[in-house]
Amino acid sequence: MSLAKAVVTGTVYRTPEKRFTQNNVAVSAFVMNIGEREETLIRVLSKRTALDEIVSSLNKGERVLVEGRLQTATVKTDDGSEKRIYEIDANSIEKMGEGAVSNSDFGTEEIVKFESDDVANELINEDEIPF
């Protein structure tokens, strides 16, 4: 279920990986920590092939800015209990700090952005969310 548009910054907590859905759609994902004093983890998903290059260049500990749709999902843990997780379906991802590509007009990092959502959300089915 999509909740709202979100723009968050944080550090890459788990390095990106690429997997494929049953329909052979490539999905890149990584986990970022948006908390300053305590861990607040959000999974970042990208089904946009144009974001593959920036996602694959991310390393653990790098600062990033992510813009997209905030979603929730419920997963079952090993002990059978349910846990709610938060995800962002990314429209744009921007590296921050050292190693970022600068834009001389604005002094900001390179941004890859897409306005339309071409691929249906196949990872979270609204029937699976209990509210």
Write the DSSP assignment of 31-76 as a string of letters. Answer: EEE--SSS--EEEEEE--GGGHHHHHT--TT-EEEEEEEEEEEEEE
* pLDDT tens by residue, 60-96: 999 999 999 999 888 888 898 988 888 999 999 999 8
What is the DSSP secondary structure assignment for residue 27, as one 8-state letter?
Answer: E
Residue 54 sits at φ, ψ, to 5 deg, of -70, -40
pTM assigned to the model: 0.65
Least confident range of 6-10, 93-97, 107-111? 107-111
Task: Give the model's pLDDT for residue 60.
Answer: 93
Task: Give the model's pLDDT for residue 102.
Answer: 35
